[in-house]
Structure 1
């Protein structure tokens, strides 16, 4: 990642960005999954109660809903996510991975046409890929080739949501990454540290072993995915 990768984040939505993020992550994650024995998919993840297989089943189901435009009432709520996972309990692992690969390939154009309402699905899928890598003990769980796309998407989503304003001084960027919405009533908080740890903060993931400074905001205020 270079200083030009994320510092030119625009206020104008790039409809192709979520798809690029998904395809970039597909190319990194799917070969890793296909190389793993079935037993590895029983590993626990940072998502309470979910194994690696559960996370992948949830991700594949969510993207299938996007591709097929199936958004019934309550979709993506915890109880609906659990039902999606349960429906795939008797699937072989290969089928779970196949569905995920298809979703990561085909969801981009649908998300692009949705006007922004589905952009956060792509970011959530990328974060879940990090959950899987971390459960496998892979290095750089919330990093990799997709990180610049994820940061750009995170910056725009937090602005559009009117989230806590924050200037992130990232270790390998020359200029701060600006997140959230400046309201004039609250000065921007400041983060100093690396980009993967910033992702952990916004995704509500464990911070054990990380090093960073956060001034002007509480950790819990940054979580964009809920409690």
Structure 2
């Protein structure tokens, strides 16, 4: 997937998420997500922070956080989370077209948009709809990238991962079969519903998804 296509999809997903957030209640904004310790509002603030991040600000921010990625992310949430969540959404709408990025593969922008989009929506009982080519590109990247770098390679190790809605089949071993989105969430360490995945490798995948890495 080329750079122009990736940024178009990221822009569209940011806009779609903002539209959904406009209808969230106060309770939904404070709902806990699959990101440990983060509410819906926190995840939106994180997306706002990463949308503003440049290669240079990432490096300086990481140094300020004593090279602790989690501490750096928490600092970003505190910086960008507004007292009123409506103002956070307003700020997020202001960066829809931003194409700045941390020093990472552009596929990480798709991972962020889709996985965090589902973190937010699933926290309040909703689901998103994403371009299948974007989900597949994000999944393929996660399957090739170490958990220590934010990927999901170890979670899929020794398993045969097969998408039911796309031409994607990776690895050998016990089968884990499901939609590309469900597989993306699982290898990214997110819980999925029992009926979203099938195959003899599902239990192992679920155990790995529930662990930090």
- TM-score tier, shorter chain, comes to 0.7 to 0.9
Q: 1:170 aligns with which of 163, 179, 183?
A: 163
Equivalent position SS for 1:137: coil
Cα gap change, 1:137/1:37 in structure 2, threshold over 3 Å: closer, same or farther? same
Query: Are the counterparts in 2 of residues 171 and 193 from structure 1 also a CA contact under 8 Å?
Result: yes
Following TM superposition, by how much is the alpha carbon of 1:93 offset from its aligned partner in structure 2, in angstroms?
A: 1.4
Greater RCO structure (CA 8 Å; 6+ sep): 1
Residue aligning to 2:8: 20
Runs of at least 5 residues in structure 1 that lack an aligned partner in the other structure: 1-12, 181-186
| 1:192–1:214 contact (8 Å) kept in structure 2 | no
Instruction: Judging by fraction of residues, say which structure has more helix.
Output: 2
Q: Is the 8 A contact 2:142 2:184 kept in 1?
A: no
Distance change >3 Å, CA 89–CA 179, structure 1 → 2: same
The C-alpha deviation readout for 1:151-172, integer Å capped at 9, x for no partner, is: 1233145347694486543223
- The 5-angstrom pairing of residues 96-115 of structure 1 reads 96-107=88-99, 110-111=100-101
Report the Cα distance in structure 1 between the residues aligned to 2:82 and 2:202, rounded to whole angstroms.
Answer: 48
SS in 1 for 2:3: coil
SS in 2 for 1:97: helix
**How many residues matched?**
198
TM-score where L is the length of structure 2? 0.74
Q: What is aligned with 2:139?
A: 154
Matched ranges for 1:6-17 at <5 A: 14-17=2-5
Q: Do the aligned partners of residues 192 and 122 (structure 1) sit closer, same or farther apart at CA in structure 2, a change above 3 Å counting?
A: closer
Question: How well do the aligned residues superpose, as a CA RMSD in angstroms?
Answer: 3.4
Q: TM-score, normalised by structure 1?
A: 0.70
From 185, 199, 212, give the equivalent of 1:213: 199
Q: Match of 1:77?
A: 69
Q: 1:70 aligns to what SS in structure 2?
A: helix
Secondary structure of the structure 1 residue equivalent to 2:97: helix
Specify the alignment match of 1:6 in structure 2: none
SS in 2 for 1:192: strand
Residue equivalent to 2:176: 191
Give how far 1:45 is off.
0.9
Query: CA offsets, 1:47-81, max 9 Å, x none?
Result: 11111001111111111113x85112527811111
**Structure 2 spans left out of the alignment, 5+ residues:** none
Distance 1:44 1:156, change over 3 A: closer
